[in-house]
Amino acid sequence: MDDSLFRALADPTRRKILELLTEKDRTAGEIAEQFPIAFASVSHHLGVLKAADLVATEREGQFIRYRLNTTVFQEVVRYFMTRFGGGDQKGAENA
């Protein structure tokens, strides 16, 4: 389990970005306009998320589209389950 992963998740703006990407893939601009900080600052957060492999990108003409890398989230859940027994299978369904 990479250190950059947990550091990436430690910031609330980045977690919010991830939740936005849960709904649908979005361009950097679409993401940035959801936050009161500078576009360049959001771009920095996107870079952190990408370095942690939590998101992936694809160029679409002028735009760059971001999407969640769900594989990594599965690894996160496994990390907690295996080490801390943090969730039983049945209970999680109703959460």
Q: Determine which residue in the list 1, 7, 22, 58 makes contact with DNA, applying CB under 7 A.
A: 7
CA angle 58, 60, 65 (to 5 degrees): 45
**Which residues inside 31-90 make contact with DNA, applying CB under 7 A?**
32, 36-41, 43-48, 57, 59, 61-64
- Candidates 16, 20, 25, 27; binder of DNA (CB under 7 A) is 27
Q: Which two tokens stand for residue 29?
A: 């601009």
Asked if residue 57 lies in contact with residue 64, where contact means CB atoms within 8 angstroms, the answer is yes
Side-chain half-sphere exposure of 61, counting CA atoms within 13 A:
1
Q: By CB under 8 A, name the binding residues for its own copies.
A: 3, 6-7, 9-10, 12, 15, 18-19, 22, 68, 70, 73-74, 76-78, 80-93, 95
